[in-house]
C-alpha cells in the first residue's frame, strides 16, 4: 500500500513537471531596444459600402427616424465608433463605387434620383446618404475619409470634379455648387482611390490596361497633398502588383490588395456560428495566409520602390460566411463569434508587424455586412467580438512598432499544426503594448516575455475570450464575448510571466 502511494505521488509529480514544461515553451522577446516603423493609425480603418444595412439602418436612419439620431446618424452607433477611435472610413464601395455617380447624391434630398443597387440585392438606392452625409459622418466620429472614385462606369471628368467639389477652396463651378449645397469650406479628404477591384466588378480589366487608365485618372485628380490609391491585386495575383508597380509607381501613393477569409469555398462559405473545431482551425489557418500575401506583394513593391514610399493598403479584409438564414443573400449579413475575434487579432498583428509597408487596412465591413464591429436590428445594437478586439488594439494607432520574436507551442489538429501564439508589439508615450492571440481552443499558453530596452515597473492587461469557440453576442441577450481585465500575469526577475487562456486575444501593457 505504501509503495502504491509513493508511486502515485511520483507519478503526479512527473505529470506536473511534464505539464509545466509543455506550458513553459512560449518565449517572446519584444525588442523595445529596436524600434521599427510607425504603425499608421489608418491600419485600424473601416470600410462602409452601400450594401445591405451598412449605411441605411446601420449608420444612417434619417432625421425623421424614431431611433435617436444626430442629423440622421444613429446616436448609439456614433458613440460606439467614437469609443473605438475609428481613424478612417472607406466609402462608397466596393463594387458599388464603380456604379456610383456622385452628383446623384448631392443637393436637396427630394430632388436626388433613385437608382438600382445592381450589385447588392437590386434594391432601391435613394441617394439620401451622399457626399455631404458621408463627410459629416466622418467629422462626427472623428475619422478621416477615404473616397473611392468610379472608374468602371464613370469618367475622368466626373472623378476630377468630385475631387474638386470636395477639396478645392478656389472659385469654380464645382466649388460654387458645393457652397450652394450648404458647405462653404472644403473638406480635408486625403485618401482617394481610382476604382475598386478593377480586375473584377470594377471593370474586368487587365493590369496592363488599368495601369494606363490609372495614370490618366491620377493626372486629373488635382488637389495638393492628396494620397492617390491604385486598385490592387486579388489575393495572390502577384502579376497585378508587378505590372502596376512597373508602370505607375511614380503616380501613386498607395496600392491596394483584397483578401477575405472564407472557411470553405465561394459556393459554400460555411456558417458564421455553427462550426466545429476543424472549421475553427481551417479558418485561422486561412487567415494566416495574409502574412504570406503581404510579404510577397511587399517584396515586389520593394523592387520598384526600395524606399517604401508607396503604401500597401489592405483596403478589404475579414471573414466571409454564408448569410444568416432568412436574410437577403445580397445583403451579406453574418453573425460574428469568438472565431472572428481571433481572425481580427491575427490580421491586425500581421499588419502591425509589416508597418514599414502596410499603411492602411479596412475591415469589411463596419456595420451589418461581413465581419462587422457592430450589428443593428431596428432600435437595437450589438457590439461584436471583433469590436472588442479593435478596442484592445487601438493602443497601436500611430505607435512605433517593436519587432517580436516568438518561440511557441504548436496547435495541432488532425496532423496539421499552427503556431499557437501570434503577437505584435508597439510603444507610445513610454508604454509598451503587446497584443497576443492564443489560437488553441483547448490549451492555455504559459508565456515568458523578455523586453530588452524596457524598464518594467507596472503591468496591466485585458482579454477577449469566452467559454465556446462559437460564442457570440445577440440582440436582446446578455453579451457572451466582451473585454475583461486580465490578471493572470506578473513581473518576475525583470520578465513578465503570463498564462494566456485558450482561444483568447490579450493586450498586455507595461511601463
Ligand atoms: O465587401 C463586399 C465586396 O467584396 C466589395 O463590394 C467588393 O469590393 C469585394 O468583392
At 325-340, the pLDDT tens digits run 999 999 999 999 999 9
- Residue 5 above 60 pLDDT? no
- Write the CATH number for 410: 2.60.40.1180
Q: Are 27 and 82 part of one and the same domain? A: no
User: Which ligand 1 atom sits closest to the C-alpha of 332?
Assistant: 2
pLDDT band per the 50, 70, 90 thresholds, residue 241: very high
Instruction: Pull the grid cell for residue 470.
Output: 462559437
Cβ burial, residue 107 (10 Å; 0-12/13-18/19+): middle
Residue 329 lies inside a defined structural domain of this protein:
yes
Q: What is the pLDDT of residue 455?
A: 82
Q: How far apart are CA 331 and CA 333, in angstroms?
A: 6
| Alpha-helical runs (H) found in 182-276 | 207-219, 238-248
Residue 5 lies inside a defined structural domain of this protein:
no
Testing ligand 1's pocket by substitution, the residue of 96, 118, 150, 197 carrying the most ligand atoms inside 8 A of its CB is 197
Residue-wise pLDDT for 434-459, tens only, equals 999 999 999 999 999 999 988 878 99
Count structural domains, the chain.
2
Q: Are 330 and 424 part of one and the same domain? A: no
User: Which ligand 1 atom sits closest to the C-alpha of 370?
Assistant: 1
Q: What is the pLDDT of residue 454?
A: 86
Residue 17 lies inside a defined structural domain of this protein:
no
End-to-end CA distance of the chain: give it in Å, rounded. Answer: 54
Q: Are 451 and 466 part of one and the same domain? A: yes
Residue 13 lies inside a defined structural domain of this protein:
no
User: Which ligand 1 atom sits closest to the C-alpha of 316?
Assistant: 1
Nearest CA to ligand 1 atom 5: 94
- Residue 313 above 50 pLDDT? yes
Q: Are 213 and 353 part of one and the same domain? A: yes
Q: Calculate the alpha carbon distances from 71 to 60, 131, 286 in Å.
A: 9, 14, 41
Q: How far apart are CA 503 and CA 440, in angstroms?
A: 6
Residue 380 appears among annotated catalytic residues? no
Residue 346 lies inside a defined structural domain of this protein:
yes
Q: How far is the CA of 95 from the centre of ligand 1 (A)?
A: 6
Helix/strand/coil (H, E, C) string of 317-378? EEECCCCCCCCCHHHCCCCCEHHHHHHHHHHHHHHHHCCCCEEEEEEECCECCCCCCEEEEC
Do residues 354 and 298 make contact, with C-beta atoms less than 8 angstroms apart? yes
Q: How far apart are CA 203 and CA 394, in angstroms?
A: 36
User: Which ligand 1 atom sits closest to the C-alpha of 95?
Assistant: 6
pLDDT band per the 50, 70, 90 thresholds, residue 20: very low
- Residue 24 above 80 pLDDT? no
User: Which ligand 1 atom sits closest to the C-alpha of 93?
Assistant: 6
Do residues 449 and 362 make contact, with C-beta atoms less than 8 angstroms apart? no
Testing ligand 1's pocket by substitution, the residue of 52, 201, 256 carrying the most ligand atoms inside 8 A of its CB is 201
Q: Calculate the alpha carbon distances from 270 to 62, 373, 471, 472 in Å.
A: 34, 20, 16, 16
Q: How far is the CA of 300 from the centre of ligand 1 (A)?
A: 24
Q: What is the pLDDT of residue 494?
A: 85
Of 346, 367, 397, the position where a domain reaches its end is: 397
Q: How far is the CA of 422 from the centre of ligand 1 (A)?
A: 27
Q: Are 29 and 139 part of one and the same domain? A: no
Residue 75 lies inside a defined structural domain of this protein:
yes
Q: Are 208 and 263 part of one and the same domain? A: yes
Nearest CA to ligand 1 atom 9: 94
What share of the chain has pLDDT > 90, as a percent? 93
- Residue 11 above 70 pLDDT? no
- The residue annotated as part of the active site, out of 125, 161, 164, 197, is 197
Q: How far is the CA of 378 from the centre of ligand 1 (A)?
A: 25
Q: Are 285 and 186 part of one and the same domain? A: yes
- Write the CATH number for 292: 3.20.20.80
Do residues 91 and 147 make contact, with C-beta atoms less than 8 angstroms apart? yes
Nearest CA to ligand 1 atom 8: 94
φ and ψ at residue 401, rounded to 5 degrees: -65, 140
Q: What is the pLDDT of residue 21?
A: 44
Q: Are 277 and 363 part of one and the same domain? A: yes
Q: How far is the CA of 51 from the centre of ligand 1 (A)?
A: 9
Q: Which residue, chain included where needed, has cell 524598464?
A: 455
Nearest CA to ligand 1 atom 7: 94
Q: How far apart are CA 128 and CA 230, in angstroms?
A: 28
Q: What is the pLDDT of residue 17?
A: 45
DSSP string, 250-284: GG-SEEEEEEEE-SS-SS----SS---HHHHHHHH
Of 373, 397, 421, the position where a domain reaches its end is: 397
| Length of the chain as a residue count | 511
pLDDT band per the 50, 70, 90 thresholds, residue 1: very low
Q: How far is the CA of 348 from the centre of ligand 1 (A)?
A: 20
Q: Are 430 and 482 part of one and the same domain? A: yes
Residue 135 lies inside a defined structural domain of this protein:
yes
CB neighbours of 229 closer than 8 A, spacing ≥ 6? 146, 191, 192, 193, 194, 252, 253, 254, 255, 256, 313, 315
Q: Are 357 and 421 part of one and the same domain? A: no
Which residues lie with the beta carbon below 6 Å from any ligand 1 atom? 49, 93-95, 196-197, 316, 364-365, 370
- Residue 151 above 50 pLDDT? yes
Domain residue limits at 495? 23-35+402-510
Quick check: bond before 168 cis, omega within 30? Answer: no
Testing ligand 1's pocket by substitution, the residue of 54, 93, 256 carrying the most ligand atoms inside 8 A of its CB is 93
Q: Are 368 and 438 part of one and the same domain? A: no
Residue 480 appears among annotated catalytic residues? no
φ and ψ at residue 145, rounded to 5 degrees: -105, 145
Q: How far is the CA of 317 from the centre of ligand 1 (A)?
A: 9
φ and ψ at residue 134, rounded to 5 degrees: -60, -45
- Residue 306 above 90 pLDDT? yes
- The residue annotated as part of the active site, out of 316, 380, 480, 483, is 316
User: Which ligand 1 atom sits closest to the C-alpha of 200?
Assistant: 10
Residue 452 lies inside a defined structural domain of this protein:
yes
What is the rounded average pLDDT for all residues in the chain?
A: 95
Residue-wise pLDDT for 351-398, tens only, equals 999 999 999 999 999 999 999 999 999 999 999 999 999 999 999 999
Q: How far is the CA of 94 from the centre of ligand 1 (A)?
A: 5
Please state the rounded mean pLDDT for residues 418-423. 98
471: helix, strand or coil: coil
Testing ligand 1's pocket by substitution, the residue of 94, 117, 200 carrying the most ligand atoms inside 8 A of its CB is 94
Of 346, 372, 397, the position where a domain reaches its end is: 397
DSSP state of 406: E
Cβ burial, residue 504 (10 Å; 0-12/13-18/19+): buried
DSSP state of 432: E
Q: Are 378 and 437 part of one and the same domain? A: no
Q: How far apart are CA 294 and CA 285, in angstroms?
A: 15
What share of the chain has pLDDT > 70, as a percent? 95
Q: How far apart are CA 142 and CA 136, in angstroms?
A: 10
Amino acid at each position: 500500500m505504501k509503495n502504491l502511494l509513493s508511486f502515485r505521488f511520483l507519478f503526479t509529480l512527473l505529470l506536473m513537471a511534464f505539464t509545466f514544461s509543455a506550458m513553459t515553451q512560449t518565449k517572446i522577446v519584444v525588442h523595445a531596444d529596436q524600434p521599427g516603423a510607425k504603425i499608421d493609425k489608418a491600419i485600424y480603418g473601416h470600410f462602409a459600402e452601400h450594401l445591405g444595412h451598412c449605411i441605411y439602418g446601420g449608420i444612417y436612419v434619417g432625421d425623421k427616424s424614431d431611433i435617436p439620431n444626430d442629423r440622421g446618424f444613429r446616436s448609439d452607433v456614433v458613440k460606439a465608433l467614437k469609443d473605438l477611435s475609428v481613424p478612417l472610413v472607406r466609402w462608397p464601395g466596393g463594387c458599388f463605387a464603380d456604379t456610383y455617380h456622385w452628383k446623384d447624391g448631392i443637393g436637396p434630398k427630394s430632388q436626388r434620383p433613385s437608382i438600382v443597387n445592381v450589385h447588392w440585392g437590386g434594391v432601391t438606392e435613394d441617394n439620401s446618404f451622399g457626399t455631404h452625409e458621408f463627410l459629416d459622418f466622418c467629422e462626427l466620429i472623428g475619422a478621416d475619409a477615404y473616397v473611392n472614385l468610379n472608374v468602371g462606369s464613370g469618367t475622368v471628368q466626373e472623378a476630377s470634379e468630385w475631387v474638386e467639389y470636395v477639396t478645392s477652396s478656389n472659385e469654380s463651378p464645382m466649388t460654387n455648387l458645393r457652397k450652394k449645397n450648404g458647405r462653404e469650406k472644403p473638406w480635408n479628404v486625403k485618401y482617394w482611390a481610382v476604382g475598386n477591384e478593377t480586375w473584377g466588378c470594377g471593370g474586368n480589366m487587365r493590369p496592363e490596361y488599368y495601369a494606363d487608365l490609372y495614370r490618366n485618372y491620377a493626372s486629373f485628380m488635382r488637389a495638393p497633398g492628396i494620397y492617390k490609391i491604385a486598385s490592387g491585386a486579388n489575393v495572390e495575383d502577384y502579376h497585378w502588383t508587378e505590372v502596376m508597380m512597373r508602370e505607375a509607381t511614380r503616380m501613386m501613393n498607395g496600392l491596394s490588395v483584397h483578401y477575405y477569409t472564407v472557411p470553405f469555398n465561394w459556393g459554400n462559405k460555411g456558417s458564421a456560428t455553427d462550426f466545429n473545431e476543424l472549421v475553427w482551425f481551417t479558418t485561422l489557418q486561412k487567415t494566416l495566409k495574409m502574412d504570406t500575401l503581404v510579404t510577397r506583394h511587399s517584396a515586389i513593391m520593394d523592387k520598384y520602390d526600395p524606399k517604401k514610399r508607396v503604401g500597401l493598403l489592405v483596403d478589404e479584409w475579414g471573414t466571409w460566411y454564408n448569410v444568416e438564414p432568412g436574410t437577403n443573400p445580397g445583403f451579406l449579413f453574418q453573425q460574428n463569434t469568438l472565431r472572428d475575434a481571433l481572425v481580427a487579432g491575427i490580421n491586425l498583428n500581421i499588419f502591425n508587424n509589416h508597418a514599414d509597408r502596410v499603411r492602411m487596412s479596412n475591415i469589411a465591413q463596419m456595420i451589418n455586412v461581413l465581419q462587422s464591429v457592430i450589428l443593428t436590428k431596428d432600435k437595437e445594437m450589438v457590439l461584436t467580438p471583433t469590436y472588442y478586439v479593435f478596442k484592445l488594439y487601438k493602443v497601436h494607432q500611430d505607435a512605433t512598432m517593436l519587432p517580436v520574436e516568438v518561440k511557441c507551442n504548436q496547435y495541432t489538429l488532425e496532423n496539421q499544426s499552427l503556431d499557437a501564439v501570434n503577437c505584435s508589439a508597439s510603444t507610445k508615450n513610454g508604454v509598451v503594448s503587446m497584443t497576443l492571440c492564443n489560437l488553441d481552443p483547448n490549451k492555455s499558453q504559459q508565456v515568458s516575455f523578455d523586453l530588452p530596452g524596457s524598464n518594467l515597473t507596472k503591468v496591466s492587461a485585458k482579454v477577449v475570450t469566452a467559454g465556446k469557440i462559437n460564442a457570440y453576442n445577440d440582440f436582446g441577450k446578455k453579451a457572451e464575448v466582451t473585454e475583461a481585465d486580465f490578471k493572470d500575469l506578473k513581473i518576475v526577475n525583470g520578465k513578465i510571466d503570463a498564462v494566456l487562456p485558450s482561444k483568447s486575444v490579450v493586450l498586455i501593457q507595461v511601463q
